[in-house]
Each structure stands twice: as structure tokens, then as C-alpha cells.
Amino acid sequence: MEAIRIEKTKQPKAKPSDQGSLGFGRYYTDHMFLMDYDAGRGWHSPRIVPYAPIALDPAAMCLHYGQEVFEGMKAYCGADGKVRLFRPEQNMARLNLSNDRLCIPPVDEAFAVEAVKALVRTDADWIPAAEGTSLYIRPFIFAVDPHIGVHPAAHLLFCIILSPVGAYYPEGLNPVKIFVEQAYVRSVRGGMGYVKTGGNYAASLKAQEEAHKAGYTQVLWLDGIERRYVEEVGTMNVFFVLGGEVVTPALQGSILGGITRKSCIELLQSWGVKVTERPLALAELLEAAKTGQLEEAFGSGTAAVISPIGELRCGEETLLINGGKIGALSQRLYDALTGIQWGRAQDTFGWMQEV
């Protein structure tokens, strides 16, 4: 692969003045990474350029048929001042899984990690250091052929942008209220639910809006066929502590294989906690809540980290979980993960990569 050409901006933007109120996705750094794909030539011309709007032909295929994939990862400013990425090779492996599903040519995973590092180094002065903040990294690929026939693109753009962020949910680490969605579905096996593509999120918007209006942060999706089994929450995978055992829905083709999900499972197992990946029926959850076996619930994700679930609304029933407070295991996972990510705890798994 060619070397990355770097063109620095002559007009750096003002940085957010208050790192305590960054929110999520409101600010973008001074530069972005771009690389083109042309059939017959492959991926070429990797470059870091000033952050700017991208001109697209109105017929660009991504705008019409959604041939697009993306990733979400973070760079953390460690307690020792060093900047690190969390399991970036996992993100690029998943990017290629998404590429395969969307008929997008694969990228060189090691090169893509290097591209992220080069961009993060270029915008290193944007990495926030306040407690709970990080630099969110959004790699994405989209089809640019000006052609409104339906077929895989021959021309694509790989782009990476960076955004200094705080907590994804305004609740932070306070438990969120989740609405169990029984009318809309997100994905079915054989569909695209297991990959990161914009269409999955577009499919989620209406349910999310209705849940918001009713006072809930996100929805809990049920399987698209029987509508009996819990799958995932809007932007997170989901875990339940049932009678001392941790249960998370098995990845069966319609659920995103989260990297934070995988890391939670590995952490829990290393602590000797029993974790089971299996189909989990909503009826079982309701029953467990009645018998007092439903001890904790939480979501996991790159953006959200660990988000305790304090309340589940299911039809006419409202389940209050752990008295609406964060559970001991959710707190322990949050502390362990963020401890490793911010370099406060030893990285015994070898998950972090210095930038």
C-alpha cells in the first residue's frame, strides 16, 4: 500500500472550551482520512486532508441504495499521557465482515489500523483528557458511482473522521429506561443485523423516536420472526444477570457482534463468573423479574461503554431492575474496562495499542 500523504490544515478550528460537556458527535477535528477504490485499481491514494464537506454526484449510489458500512472505536488519553486504541484490529476485522455482506471490496486491516493511528497522531491535540472523555473514531465506506441502477459499486470512498466525546447517553452511568419493542423489528437472520451498516440504524429510528416520546432512552429489540427472544438495544448489546449467572443473547445472524460485548464476556470469564450466550426469551425475563432472579441488566457498546438498565417497559408491565440503580457487576465491568482503556489498570489481556 502507498504511503499516506498528509496535507495539514492552514485554518485549525477552535476546540471545544468545556471538556465536561462534549456530549456525543457534536465536534469534529481538523483532519480526515480518505482513500479511493476503483475497480481494476483497488484501494489507492490514501491521504489525510483538512476536514471538509465531500462533493458527491446526486446519483451517487450510497444516497439511493445505502451501500455503506461503518465502524466505531475510540482513542483514549491515558493517565500516563500516552494515547491508546482499544482492540483496533477487531474493528477492522468487523469492517471487512460488513464489507463482505454489502459487496464492498475488503480493506487491508493492518493498513486501516495504521491509517487510524496516523489520523489520531495528526489531530492528537484534539484528544480530550477529562474524566470519561475520549476521541471517537468513525471509519466508514460508501459507494460513489453516479449510477441509479441497482448493483455493487465500482467506485467507493473510505473515510475516517474523529470526534472528541463524553458520555453517549445524557444519563452517563445512571441507569437508562428501555422500552421493549413489540411492533417494529430491526433485523432477521439472513438480513444485515450482524454487520454495521447505516440501514440497520435507519430501520431503528421510528421505534426509537416513539420510545423517546414515551420517556424511554432506547428500545430493546426482539427477534424479527417469533418476536419472543431479546436481541439487542438500539446502540448496544445487552446482558442480564439471572440468579447469579450472566446471560447474553447468542449471535445468530441478526445481532451485532460487539467488541465491548466480547470484552465483557472475556472479563467476566476471567473473574470466574458464569456467562452463557443463548437465546433468551422475553417470557423468561418477565418470569425472572417476578421471582426476584433478574438481578441486573446492562448494555455494552463502544459509544455507550456500559450502560445500566434500570427499567424495562414491556407492554403494560414495568420492570424495575435492581431498584433502578446500577448493579455491582455492571459497575465492576465499567471500572475494569475503563481502567484498561484509560491506562489506570494493567492491560493483562493485551487489548490496548499505543498510537
Chain residues in the site for ligand COI (CB under 6 A): 72, 201, 235, 301-303
- In angstroms, the CA 246 to CA 239 distance is 7
State which residue, 241 or 303, has the beta carbon closest to ligand COI: 303
* Shortest distance, position 290 Cβ to ligand COI, whole Å: 32
Pairing status of strand 5-6 against strand 42-50: parallel
- In angstroms, the CA 351 to CA 183 distance is 39
State which residue, 128 or 301, has the beta carbon closest to ligand COI: 301
State which residue, 268 or 303, has the beta carbon closest to ligand COI: 303
State which residue, 99 or 235, has the beta carbon closest to ligand COI: 235
Residue 123: all three cell numbers together: 489531530
Largest alpha-carbon pair distance within the chain? 63
* Shortest distance, position 201 Cβ to ligand COI, whole Å: 6
State which residue, 67 or 163, has the beta carbon closest to ligand COI: 163
* Shortest distance, position 255 Cβ to ligand COI, whole Å: 14
* Shortest distance, position 138 Cβ to ligand COI, whole Å: 8
* Shortest distance, position 344 Cβ to ligand COI, whole Å: 22
Instruction: Say if residues 29 and 52 touch (Cβ distance below 8 Å).
Output: no
The residue at minimum Cβ distance from ligand COI is: 72
Residue 353: all three cell numbers together: 495499542
* Shortest distance, position 89 Cβ to ligand COI, whole Å: 16
State which residue, 33 or 314, has the beta carbon closest to ligand COI: 33
State which residue, 6 or 93, has the beta carbon closest to ligand COI: 93
Residue 184: all three cell numbers together: 417494529
State which residue, 235 or 330, has the beta carbon closest to ligand COI: 235
* Shortest distance, position 300 Cβ to ligand COI, whole Å: 9
Instruction: Say if residues 152 and 105 touch (Cβ distance below 8 Å).
Output: no
Long-range contacts of 335-339 (CB under 8 A, 24+ apart): 336/267, 337/260, 337/263, 337/264, 337/267, 337/305, 337/306, 338/305
Buried b (16+ CB within 10 A) or exposed e, 166-180: bbbbeeebebbbbbb
Is the Cα dihedral 19, 22, 25, 28 positive or negative? negative
* Shortest distance, position 301 Cβ to ligand COI, whole Å: 4
Residue 69 CA: distances (Å) to CA of 72, 147, 151, 269: 11, 19, 16, 31
